[in-house]
Amino acid sequence: MATSTEHLVFEGEAGTIDCAFDLPEGGLEAARGWALVLHPHPLFGGTRENKVVTTMARACTQQGLAVVRPNFRGVGKSAGEFDNAAGETTDMLAVVDQFRAKYPALAQGRFVLGGFSFGSAVASHVYAGCGPDSERGLAVAGLVLLGTAASRFSIAAVPEDTLVIHGEVDDTVPLGAVMDWARPQSLPVTVIPGAGHFFHGNLVVVKRLVLAYLERVLA
């Protein structure tokens, strides 16, 4: 559980990026790294307070990571308008750069990316823009994609150890679409039986899976 949640503001191309900043037990000094966790579609009620997002964030803080949960463009106090993942990706890369400048010691720790639904698409492109094969060349310890929006948005190539979790009966992004995306990459997909897109009634399972993954990649 986060011991406290603070407020951070960064600047993107469209203006203010308003973020929650969850700290693990022991506070900033005890954090062994940080995570950027991204929310679902802004035009369909997606915010950083989404339950899947906060579940992922709690798993991260439990594993000793500080967590940045931004609101995308046009959500809450974040400036701008929805930009179909392109502007959102640019904004999140700005968050990565500005966070690293603001917290250089923490930025030397482990870095995890996560996203749910629309946020999964953005997270994949953020990985492409800041990961080890990019100009930024950052080491990314883990990438977590929940309800991957493979039938709705472009998903960038992801590493082979990415954690992909999907609901068996997701009627927003059909499981078949995710399998079609994952198959050419030989990328495993963890399917939660009976779960829908928002994992109602299955968030405990989601948290357990994310915790186990983080324990492995952060070891």
For the chain, give every domain's residue range.
Answer: 4-217
Residue 189 vs residues 18, 28, 122, 185: alpha-carbon distances, Å: 32, 33, 19, 11
Q: What is the rounded CA–CA span in Å between residue 91 and residue 96?
A: 9
Superfamily of domain 4-217: Alpha/Beta hydrolase fold, catalytic domain (3.40.50.1820)
Task: Name the residue among 9, 35, 32, 39 with its Cα closest to residue 22.
Answer: 35
Task: Name the residue among 83, 112, 85, 96 with its Cα closest to residue 24.
Answer: 112
Which residue type is seen at 131?
G
User: Do 166 and 174 form a contact (C-beta atoms < 8 A)?
Assistant: no
Task: Name the residue among 57, 48, 40 with its Cα closest to residue 4.
Answer: 57
The torsion angle over the Cα atoms of residues 113, 84, 45 and 165, rounded to 10 degrees, is: -40
Residue 160 vs residues 145, 153, 195: alpha-carbon distances, Å: 12, 20, 24
Q: What is the rounded CA–CA span in Å between residue 98 and residue 161?
A: 27
pLDDT for residue 20: 98
Alpha carbon 6 to chain centroid, angstroms: 18
pLDDT for residue 7: 96
Q: What is the rounded CA–CA span in Å between residue 16 and residue 151?
A: 30
Signed CA dihedral, 133, 208, 173, 72: sign only? negative
pLDDT for residue 3: 75
pLDDT for residue 38: 98
Supply the pTM of this predicted model. 0.97
Report DSSP state, residue 106. H
Task: Name the residue among 145, 108, 97 with its Cα closest to residue 33.
Answer: 108
pLDDT values of the chain reduced to their tens digit, one per residue, 219 residues: 557 999 999 999 999 999 999 999 999 999 999 999 999 999 999 999 999 999 999 999 999 999 999 999 999 999 999 999 999 999 999 999 999 999 999 999 999 999 999 999 999 999 999 999 999 999 999 999 999 999 999 999 999 999 999 999 999 999 999 999 999 999 999 999 999 999 999 999 999 999 999 999 999
